[in-house]
């Protein structure tokens, strides 16, 4: 049915157009997106907490304070390290799979030795004939463009989500440590062992 083929082809090309528009929007507003990403994912909100800010400004030698200071620094470094490794691994695997998908129709046409055969990856349909070699080349290039654009967009988006979730988990871990060792932290900061530690604990909270 030509009408069905027309709808399928229009859906494919419309997807590519939407992806192109999305890419242009990201390029035009890249500075705003960068600021948003830095604020949401790379900005360490824990350093704004008065207790943590204080232990970084003043050099305390207490065991729990040192452990808390190392926890704040190490978790941030590990989060960025693992996210970077995950992003590189994810993008490499996605690009490899997409490249294999794009090369498979070329290999299929070479093996079959049929000059009239026109294959595209992902089993997509187009509402026009691909017998014209120029039309086939243009369609294949657009096909590769759409595939690689997905390879860039999806890993980046998912890595940003993982980074945001990782920051939340990290902050919960730090807050849990503070609540579990509140007595020791206040004692190491103030050096006071009388009943006034409750006042300081309340001030920290």
pLDDT digits over 17-75, tens only? 777 777 788 788 878 877 877 776 677 778 888 888 888 887 777 888 889 889 988 98
**Segment 181-192, tens digit of pLDDT:** 888 888 887 776
Return the biggest CA–CA distance within the chain: 91
Q: How far apart are CA 93 and CA 72, in angstroms?
A: 32
Tokens 């400004």 found at = 57
Query: CB-based burial of residue 120 (10 Å sphere; 0-12 exposed, 13-18 middle, 19+ buried)?
Result: buried
For the chain, the domains span 2-204
């Amino acid at each position: 049915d030509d009408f069905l083929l027309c709808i399928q082809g229009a859906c494919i090309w419309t997807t590519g157009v939407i992806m192109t528009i999305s890419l242009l929007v990201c390029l035009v507003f890249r500075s705003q997106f960068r600021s948003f990403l830095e604020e949401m994912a790379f900005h360490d909100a824990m350093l704004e907490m008065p207790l943590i800010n204080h232990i970084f400004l003043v050099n305390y030698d207490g065991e729990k304070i040192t452990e808390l200071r190392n926890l704040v620094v190490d978790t941030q470094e590990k989060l960025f390290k693992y996210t970077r490794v995950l992003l590189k691994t994810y993008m490499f695997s996605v690009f490899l799979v997409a490249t294999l998908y794009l090369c498979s129709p070329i290999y299929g046409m070479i093996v079959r030795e049929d000059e009239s055969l026109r294959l595209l990856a992902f089993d997509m349909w187009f509402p026009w004939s691909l017998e014209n070699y120029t039309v086939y080349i243009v369609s294949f290039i657009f096909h590769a463009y759409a595939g690689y654009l997905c390879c860039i967009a999806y890993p980046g988006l998912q890595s940003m989500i993982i980074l945001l979730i990782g920051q939340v988990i990290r902050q919960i871990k730090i807050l849990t440590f503070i609540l579990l060792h509140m007595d020791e932290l206040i004692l190491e900061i103030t050096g006071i062992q009388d009943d006034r530690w409750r006042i300081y604990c309340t001030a920290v909270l």
